[in-house]
């Protein structure tokens, strides 16, 4: 997992509508990256539904929350619509897992991302990171709020 104090690796990925979103789009604002394995899986559905419930509180603390998985933009679009999600979902599809790997949020043995959270500050420095011990353990929203308060 990427270590706090590290300059956040730059990225540019398509979102759920196919628009390119880059790290630089969040300059001057704190950003929480929520890496997760796959859209529509039961645990991922629970994880992102939980984050959707607290999204307004995260934004009120001056941060944006973005989900990243290896699913395509088309899958993200359908998943957002099906689950009534408002957060941006980014596709780490091609090359598969490149951004997830750069942040240390990848599991080679299953060929997808782990459930991991990364807080990036206004200057693009990683301030906090968390990797779940297994892909079936959801990192709770309390972890995000603790990181934002620190």
Output phi, psi for 88, to 5 deg.
-70, 135
Residue of 43, 68, 33, 45 whose CA lies nearest to 144: 33
- Asked whether the beta carbons of 47 and 140 are under 8 A apart, the reply is no
From 44, 89, 118, 131, the catalytic residue: 44
Q: Give the integer Cα–Cα distance in Å for 102 and 96.
A: 12
What crossing angle do the helices spanning 42-60 and 141-149 adopt, rounded to 10°?
Answer: 30
In the annotation, is 44 catalytic? Answer: yes
Token readout for 71 is 């699913």
Task: Find all residues with CB under 8 Å of 98, minimum gap 6, and list them.
Answer: 92
Q: Which residues pair with 123 in a beta bridge?
A: none
Residues identified as active-site: 44
């Amino acid at each position: 997992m990427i270590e706090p104090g590290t300059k956040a690796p730059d990225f540019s990925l398509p979102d759920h509508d196919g628009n390119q979103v880059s790290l630089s789009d969040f300059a001057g604002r704190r950003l929480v990256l929520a890496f997760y394995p796959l859209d529509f899986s039961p645990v991922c559905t629970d994880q992102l539904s939980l984050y959707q419930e607290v999204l307004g509180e995260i934004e009120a603390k001056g941060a944006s929350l973005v989900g990243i998985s290896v699913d395509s933009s088309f899958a993200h679009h359908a998943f957002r619509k099906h689950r009534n999600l408002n957060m941006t979902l980014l596709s780490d599809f091609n090359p598969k897992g490149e951004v997830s790997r750069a942040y240390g949020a990848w599991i080679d043995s299953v060929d997808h991302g782990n459930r991991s959270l990364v807080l990036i500050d206004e200057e693009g420095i990683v301030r906090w990171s968390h990797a779940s011990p297994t892909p079936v353990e959801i990192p709770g929203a309390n972890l995000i709020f603790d990181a934002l308060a620190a």
